[in-house]
Amino acid sequence: MGPLLFIIFVNDMEIGVGGKLFKFTDDTKLVQAIKGLGDNVAMQRNLHKLSGWVDVNNMAFNVEKSRIMHFGSKNGNFWYQFGGNWLESSELERDLGVLVSVDLKAHRQSFEVRNRANRILGAIRKNVQCKSREVIRTLYTALVRPHFEYCVQAWPPFYKKDIVILETVQKN
């Protein structure tokens, strides 16, 4: 019943807010295309509306964890305030376990997946006594492969260097 009540409680958060508001448990994102000064003013107005909602409902956003990401070459890189605090700009953020960069390329995510998978493979090599092909394949499928497949729709490795990075783990 708790999650349902929380959803009902935050359901009115987007009333009067322009742009697109994404809510997931304790994570909220406001997304809006900024093509000029008018859009910048509208985004700041939306942030003020959210700040007002927070005050009215006795809630709190963690402003220290809040960031601005500027996507696209035509973006004016404007600065914004939330609740009287200036928001920091960021080039790279983790969103539900996936690294998102302002260029929307998957290089950093590929490196991170490779490193995590290599650590797991190392642990398998170090701790598993039976090195038969069947046992190793089963452990790989259960412990390593999910890291390659997690949210792959959001970070498809389509650059050759990203594919090579990930294939090195599979060859090992």
Full-model pTM: 0.76
| Digit-coded pLDDT (tens) for 20-58 | 888 887 788 999 988 888 888 999 999 999 999 989 888
- Sequence-distant (6+) residues with CB within 8 A of 37 are 76
Domain residue extents for the chain: 2-90, 107-171
